[in-house]
Amino acid sequence: MTDFGLRLRMVVVGTILFAFYLAAGTFVAAATGLPLLPVLAVGILVVPALQYKLGKWLATRKAEEIPAGATGRYGDIRQMTLDLADEMDVPEPTVMKMRMGVPNAFAVGRKGAGVVVVSEELVALLDRDELEGVIAHELAHIKNRDVVTMVVGQSIGMIVGYVAYFAVLMMGEDNIGSFILAMVVSSIANALVMIFVLAISRYREYVADSDAKDAIGTGDPLARALEKISRGSEGREMEMNESMSALCIFNSERGLLEKIFSTHPPTEKRIERLRA
């Protein structure tokens, strides 16, 4: 994580997220009589670990590994990925292919256990240099530990939401009104945390684009890839779980609310930066 802007934003957002988490942990400790530090430690270790394992399995369960010795287009993609990983100082990832319904790609895992998945639709659509740009982008996510960071952020949002829910129930009356209020407060608390998490997610896409540009020496192939992916996704439904869309290189946004809660910045802005 060499980008100064990313470091600064991570410090600011990390401080805000920790404040949310500390408030939730303090309430749980006070309500249960347990020491604060063990409560915080269990929450920040157990919940993200479970989410990480489950998320990785859900994302790759329908994918097929491209084996060593594969020939043709997919064999070339596997070797290209390994060569780029070596240049970018990323431990050798597993390379997989998958039908997604749309041209797309994503990365999961951490350094030393990373997985890069390309859709068959993407391979059919892009030229070799464009694929190289997309794969470099995904490897940058692994190198920058973006998946792990997002899992921790989402876990904090979920924990804060649950704590808010039970806090309202404990302080309210035992009736349907308290139950409805608890659900509303829980949703608001979770959404408030996720606004900060998703803001970081959008900036991380810019950083991964920049890292990919540095890795291959030019941003034009990735810019062209994003243009093709955007056009190729129009009118088509993604066949993978919608919750996995945050992992992909492309995720469209439409209305104002969708932009606020989007995991990706506007595609045209990414293209503009890549060609600057």
Selecting among 121, 130, 132, 138, the annotated active-site residue is: 138
Number of domains the chain is built from: 1
Count of residues for the chain?
276
Sheet holding 105-108, edge to edge: 64-65, 94-98, 115-119, 105-108
What tokens were used for 53?
A: 């394992």
Which residues, 6 or more positions from 220, have their beta carbon under 8 angstroms from its beta carbon? 274, 275
**Under-50 pLDDT residues of the chain:** 1
- CA atoms of 159 and 121, how far apart (whole Å): 37
pLDDT of the residue at 147: 85
pLDDT of the residue at 81: 97
pLDDT of the residue at 1: 46
DSSP three-state, residue 76: helix
- CA atoms of 248 and 98, how far apart (whole Å): 13
Which residues, 6 or more positions from 241, have their beta carbon under 8 angstroms from its beta carbon? 58
What's the whole-model pTM score? 0.85
For residue range 42-75, list pLDDT tens digits in order: 888 888 888 888 888 888 999 999 999 888 999 9
**Domain that residue 181 falls in:** 4-274
For residue range 211-251, list pLDDT tens digits in order: 999 999 999 999 999 999 988 888 777 766 665 666 677 66
Q: Is residue 227 among the annotated active site residues?
A: no
pLDDT of the residue at 260: 63
% helix / strand / coil in the chain, to the nearest 5? 70, 5, 25
